[in-house]
Each structure stands twice: as structure tokens, then as C-alpha cells.
Structure 1
Amino acid sequence: MAHTIANKEKLILRIKKIKGQLNSIEKSLEDEKDCFKILQQISASRGAIQSLMSEVLDGHIKEHLGNHVSEEQREIEIENLATLLKSYLK
């Protein structure tokens, strides 16, 4: 978890921005804004979430699958990661 702790403030800031984007989508729906604008907001939010996932995933791979990890632990981490990615990509 050292990789998320080291980037904690940066990651939290990104999450706050994503929350703002989601709140904006909710307000746009409540205010019955143009559907194309809402779709753009949804697309931007999805991109922000994917970017967050990518950043945390990159740190996870480096931290938990690096040369300093035992072969047994690496196998466990690979299985966990494969399960996570299957779920994420559904």
C-alpha cells in the first residue's frame, strides 16, 4: 500500500474532481439539460475514473509484482489482479 500512501493527497484530489463531475451530471439531469451535454459529462467522468484506475494500478503492479516480491506472493498477486481486471472490464 505504500504507493497509495505516497500519492494519497494527489489521489484524493482526483477523487474530489470526479465527485464534482458526478454532481454536475446529477444537476444537469435534474435541470433537464441537453442530452448531448450530459453525455459529454458522463464521458469525461468515465475518463477521469479510468485515469485514476490506471494510476493506482500502475503503482500496484510496481509495488506488488516487482523483483523484490517472492514467487509465491507474486502468483497470489497475479491471480488477484486477474480477478480484479475481469471485474473491471465487464
Structure 2
Amino acid sequence: MPHSPEDKKRALNRIKRIQGQCEGIQRSLEAGVDCAPVLMQMAAVRGAINGLMTEVLESYIKEEFAGKLSAESESEQDIGELVKLVRSYFK
């Protein structure tokens, strides 16, 4: 979970945008909009959720494991490799 005030604010702003996108999908479904635009909105929401999940997971990895790994410079590199792997998974 993002703990710094800036990270927390950024995460909350992202989730508010995602909520707005979901409300837009709801309105589209209620109005009977064609499927293609609704599916595009849904794909955008999925991408936004994946982006938020990546940021929260990256924050967790850095905060949780940085202090538990040895103090060698390889630890930072190992964390960076793990974050890179996680980011590639969510693309």
C-alpha cells in the first residue's frame, strides 16, 4: 500500500478516475449503446486497474522486502528485477 502522502494521493486519484470510467460504462449499458464502444471502455478500465495494481504491488515490494534483504548492492538490483518482472506481467 502506498504510504507516502504523494503516493497515496496519486493512488486515490487513479481509483476515482476508474470509478468514473465504471460509471460511464454503467450509463452506456443503461442507454443501450453499441457493444464496441462499451467494450473499449471496459478494456480501458482493465488497463487502469492493472496500472494501479502494478503501482501498489511495486510499492509493497520495495517497502516490504528492501529492509529484509542483505545490505549488499545486489539487493537493490534484485528488487529492480522483480519490479520489472511484475510490470511486464501487467502489460
Question: Structure 2 length as normaliser, TM-score?
Answer: 0.70
**For 1:23-43, what per-residue CA distance to the aligned partner results, in whole angstroms no more than 9, with x for missing partners?**
000000000001000000000
Unaligned runs of 5+ in 2: 71-91
- Aligned partners of 1:50, 1:17: CA distance in 2, in Å? 13
Alpha-carbon RMSD = 1.5
Deviation at 1:69, TM superposition (A): 1.6
TM-score normalised by the chain length of structure 1: 0.71
* Partner in structure 1 of residue 64 of structure 2: 64
Structure 1 spans left out of the alignment, 5+ residues? 72-90
CA distance in 1 between partners of 2:65 and 2:47 (Å)? 26
Number of residues paired by the alignment? 68
1:70 Cα deviation from its structure 2 partner:
6.6
1:18 & 1:10 partners in 2: Cα distance? 12
Deviation at 1:8, TM superposition (A): 0.9
1:64 CA displacement: 0.6
Match of 1:81 in 2: none
**C-alpha distance in 1, partners of 2:69/2:11?**
28
Question: Identity over the aligned pairs, expressed in percent?
Answer: 43
Residue 50 of structure 1 deviates from its aligned partner by: 0.3
Instruction: Map 1:69-80 onto structure 2 (within 5 A).
Output: 69=68
Q: Which amino acid aligns with 1:38?
A: V
2:16 and 2:3 mapped to 1: Cα distance? 17
